[in-house]
Amino acid sequence: MIDMRFAYALFLCFLIQQNSFAQNSYASKQTDETLAQMARSVYKYAEYQQGKLFYKDHTENDARLNYNRVLGKIFYLDRMGKPVMLENPDALAMIAIAKDTFYYFDTNCVIKTTHFVNANLYEKQTILYEERNDATMRSNLDPVIITNGTGLPYSKEDFKTDNSLNKSSLFKIINDYYIADGSMKYFKASKKNLFDLFSDQREKIKEYLRQNEINFNVEADIVKALQYINSL
């Protein structure tokens, strides 16, 4: 399954680069609008945005940047306008794209979604390939990409030469949330990690969570909890 996911990650990246060498247009060789919608979902921004790379050695570089949801990595446009994956992310302190701020930790690239004084929320957004094996589903459905709960069917013609792709395959946009304090150590958003991160406020946070239903898979709920924690 890992090999299959990686293969389709590469396929989607190839599709984007073929349809828009520098992302100035979409699905130029396709007439199916839903395929274009899928292609647009691969990158966070419709076009490469002016950005800045801030390195840990205090140097800076300007570049046109975008976030690739398939690979969960930052890409830049080289001098020929070709998309290239950003190398050596461990050397980076921060990445600014348009009005957004990205950080790397371990193999993760996350975007900062809140700007509180102490603890903040960070989001990792990726596209996950999910293969279905139900024979009835395979025979009756096209592959779809699920974006915010909306299914977008692919065109059968685009995949008729690839027998390895089930017609019922799914591409889901997945949101993973992390919390970091001032030391920039990242923790998966969860009740346990809130207690561990802010152990000195454990009892107050426990009471807050008892009175407020917080779903740690919902951004708005986590933001509400962090607003409270930052007020302590």
Q: Would you say residue 202 has pLDDT above 90? A: yes
Residue 231, in any domain of the structure? no
Q: Would you say residue 185 has pLDDT above 70? A: yes
pTM above 0.85, yes or no: no
Q: What is the pLDDT of residue 82?
A: 92
Query: Using the 8-state DSSP alphabet, how is residue 143 labeled?
Result: -
pLDDT tens for 33-55 read 444 555 567 889 989 999 999 99
- Contact status, residue 180 vs residue 120, Cβ threshold 8 Å: yes
**Residue span of the structural domain in which 90 resides:** 2-196
- Contact status, residue 196 vs residue 190, Cβ threshold 8 Å: no
pLDDT-derived band of residue 182, with 50, 70 and 90 as boundaries? confident
Residue 126, in any domain of the structure? yes
Query: Using the 8-state DSSP alphabet, how is residue 201 labeled?
Result: G
Is the model more confident about 73 or about 5?
73
Residue 210, in any domain of the structure? no
Residue 50, in any domain of the structure? yes
Give residues with Cβ within 8 angstroms of 90, minimum separation 6.
104
Mean pLDDT, to the nearest integer, of 183-210? 92
> Across all residues in the chain, what is the average pLDDT?
75
Residue 56, in any domain of the structure? yes
Q: What is the pLDDT of residue 174?
A: 84
Residue 81, in any domain of the structure? yes
Residue 47, in any domain of the structure? yes
CA distances, 108 to each of 73, 182, 212, 225 (Å) = 8, 18, 30, 23
pLDDT tens for 54-108 read 999 999 999 999 998 888 899 999 999 999 999 899 999 999 999 999 999 888 8
Residue 204, in any domain of the structure? no
Is the model more confident about 155 or about 54?
54
- The count of domains in the chain is 1
Give residues with Cβ within 8 angstroms of 72, minimum separation 6.
107, 108, 109, 124, 125, 126
